[in-house]
Structure 1
Amino acid sequence: MIKSNGITRFLTKKVIKFITLLVAVCIVTFILLELSPIDPVTAYVGASTKVGAEQRALIAEHWGLNKPPIERFMAWFTSILQGDWGMSMIYRRPVLEIIGEKFLSSLALMSIAWVLSGVVGFVLGLISGANEGKTIDKIIHTYCYILISTPTFWLGILFVMIFSVMLGWFPMALSVPIGTTAEDVSFADKARHVILPAITLGLIGISNICMHTRQKVIEILATDYVLFAKARGENKKSIIFNHVLKNVSLPAITLQFLSFSELFGGAIFVEQVFSYPGLGKATVQAGLKGDLPLLMGVVIISLVFVYVGNTLADLLYRVVDPRIREVQKI
């Protein structure tokens, strides 16, 4: 077990790193948005030619776009520290309200995809590693290489064409039926809309878990204690369940927690393809329309999401392998 002072030291370092990383990411994001050719006022008013120069100046003043970049960044950062995340220029609603709404939609999508990629990837890796060099191993190996080199958006478009357009099994877009009020949307409707995007996102994450698990299984099967178990007459099934499974599962789980960043990045493409109203789609909209409050809010939430996943993975590694704790003490 990890001692309490060890946990305190570990979490303190993580919090310091998080604060430093958060400030750095916010500054870089703000600079990139400033260097972008997108004019927030033009994006705000759209293609309308009826908006004159005076009205544009008033809009810029209302949103604080007429101030110097440093002053705008400091004003935003100060309001964030005070708990005010600002108003979104696109939705004209509080940023926290929008993020809360969008994040719940994305969380359902990413949770299903995360479990799917972890379970399927682990099982395939176990089968592949236990049958090294055989036909099933070659098939799974090839399948993983194809998946890992397949762009997420291309796979999403392909699934839409096959399962939505040609077969009509799933809806093509959105998270609920069009024209249906929130009160009339059933759980079955939501589940039917989320299945195809979740499968698309989950399939991309299978390869890493599968290949990692396969390699670990091969290494464990070559160890002395497994060879001794074979010499005692244990069959392959018994060796897999008694010796391999417990030694492979925890490293696979920690790797799965480290995949949070890839999961969030993939969700952006999937939500665009399926027009799924989640946090990924809101990120793209905020970037394309220069919505600084919303984009910076999404950056903070996504950073928290990814950092928590990495921290949980590090914590699990420390629990599983005590040697890591000894190295970190030096």
Structure 2
Amino acid sequence: MTGWLGRLLVERLIRLAWLLPLAMAGLFTLVSLAPVDPITAYVGARVADVGPDQRAAIAQAWGLDAPAPERFALWLGHIARGDLGSSITFNAPVAEVLADRAGASLTLIALAFVISFAVGLGLGLTAAATRGRWPDRAIRGFAVVLTASPGFWVALLLIALFAVGLGWLPSCCAAPPGLTADEADLAARLNHLILPAATLSVVGTGPLILHSRARAAAFLESPAARHLAAHGARPGWLVWRPGLRHALGPALAVHLAGTGELIGGSVLAETVFAWPGLGQATVRAALGADAPLLLGIALATLVVVFLGNLAADIAARLLDPRLRQA
């Protein structure tokens, strides 16, 4: 392990050590103050048939009859032993729910990450290579439209065009009706993944286009690029050869740092397309006031965002020696 990497890991772990307790306290406070009654949400339409004694018994079984500080201390004790509690919504341990649904969410987020990075970097470099001409203006306008477009509107537009209008792609679930994701073949699973991944890839693509264009344009104004241009190098070659190496590191760092936005966008995408991941589970847990599951998902998200930011810092230093020296 090199010296700069060791120092970076120690620094980030120290930051996580004080950030995690604060985040846990804040998450528990927000969930405790939620206006939804978990018992009422659990019994649903049978709420009129549940008497006070039954409500008290349910509250005691779930530990809701204790004061909030006591429940928080009890929750921390369970977390320290590796027990995230039991989900009220799914009637299963939270760790089991996370394990069952994390794969679907990570697959969706990873594919959207690759798509948005390739599209954002490619269009940004293309805009830089055609500065001042119509492709540059069109790409910048496209980036602004993407940035301002609500995710649910993009999802509905894709469903209306490709699922309803053309009938090319399914608009729901991770597998054909009547089959689970494990029973469906790879082609069917990929077919169901296209629209959710396309919707989620919109998150971060617009800013990445503008960022990549700015970095590549700055390189074209540098003395090195001007020297190469004076010797006959074309703008397209400058952008896609040395300019690509100049813009790749910052673009990757910016995109990795936006992991939290992708996770937030996955909640919307999974809800619209009924994708069986943690985003859909988050919505169901929020509607049912499932505090253990909400807290478990929030902690898992915190760790993933932390790892994304750490990966962004490492990638930036690997691709730019000046940052390692600093």
Question: Does residue 1:135 correspond to 2:156, yes or no?
Answer: no
State the partner residue of 1:198: 197
Residue 20 of structure 1 aligns to a residue in which SS?
helix
Q: CA deviation at 1:323?
A: 4.0
| Post-superposition CA distance 1:18-77 (Å, at most 9, x none) | 132222122111111121110011111112122221111111111101111111111111
What is the one-letter code of the residue matched to 1:195? Answer: I
Give the CA deviation at 1:120.
0.8
The question of 1:33 aligning with 2:31 is answered yes
Q: Which residue of 2 aligns with 1:275?
A: 274
Partner of 1:73: 72
1:160-184 deviation line (CA, Å, top 9, x unaligned): 2222222222222111222225553
Counterpart of 2:308 in structure 1: which amino acid? G
Cα deviation 1:262-321 (Å, max 9, x = unaligned): 110111111111121111111121122111111111011111111101011112222333
**Which amino acid in 1 is paired with 2:127?**
S
1-structure distance, mates of 2:155, 2:236: 37
Please give the alpha-carbon distance, in whole angstroms, between the structure 2 residues aligned to 1:109 and 1:216. 29
- CA distances 1:142-198 after superposition (whole Å, capped 9, x unpaired): 011001000101111221222222222222211122222555321122111111010
Distance 2:69 2:288 in 1: 20
Aligned positions of 1:201-220 closer than 5 A: 201-220=200-219
Distance 1:237 1:31 in 2: 54
Q: Which structure 2 residue ranges, 5 or more long, are not aligned? A: none
Cross-structure match for 2:178? 179
| SS of alignment partner, residue 47 of structure 1 | helix
Deviation at residue 326 of structure 1 after TM alignment: 5.0
Instruction: Find the counterpart in structure 1 of residue 223 from structure 2.
Output: 224
CA distance in 1, matches of 2:291, 2:31: 8
**What's the counterpart of residue 105 of structure 2?**
106
- The Cα of 1:214 is off from its aligned counterpart by 0.3
CA distance, structure 2, for counterparts of residue 19 and residue 285 of structure 1:
30
On the 8 A contact 2:128/2:239 being kept in 1, the answer is no
Q: Contact 2:172 / 2:273 at 8 angstroms: preserved in 1?
A: yes
Change (3 A) 1:310 1:182: closer
CA contact (8 A) 2:163 2:171 kept: yes
1:52-71 alignment runs, 5 A limit? 52-71=51-70
Rounded Cα–Cα distance in structure 2 between residues aligned with 1:107 and 1:187: 16
Alignment CA distance shift 1:137-1:229 (3 Å): same
1:243 CA drift (Å): 2.1
Mapping 1:261-300, distance limit 5 Å: 261-300=260-299
Distance in 1 separating the partners of 2:306 and 2:213: 27
1:318–1:198 distance in 2 versus 1, CA, 3 Å: same
Distance 1:180 1:246 in 2: 45
- Counterpart residue identity of residue 36, structure 1: A
- Using structure 1 for the length normalisation, give the TM-score: 0.94
Q: One-letter code of the match for 2:275?
A: Y
Q: Read off the aligned partner of 1:11 and give its amino acid letter.
A: L
Whole-Å separation in 2 of the counterparts to 1:183 and 1:85? 26
Could you tell me how far apart the structure 1 residues matched to 2:182 and 2:149 are?
A: 39
* 1:118 equivalent in alignment to 2:117: yes
| C-alpha separation in 2, matches of 1:193 and 1:59 | 39
Residue 10 in structure 1 maps to residue 32 in structure 2? no
Q: What is the rounded CA distance, in whole Å, between the counterparts of 1:84 and 1:317 in structure 2?
A: 36
Q: Residue deviations 1:201-253, cap 9 Å, x none? A: 11232112111000011100011111111112223343234421211112111
Equivalent pairs, count: 325
> How far apart are the structure 2 equivalents of 1:194 and 1:182?
11
Q: Distance in 1 between matches of 2:153 and 2:240?
A: 38
The aligned counterpart of 2:164 is 165
Query: Please, what is the CA RMSD of the aligned residues?
Result: 1.6
For 1:229 and 1:286, how far apart are their aligned partners in 2?
58
> SS where residue 204 of structure 1 aligns?
coil
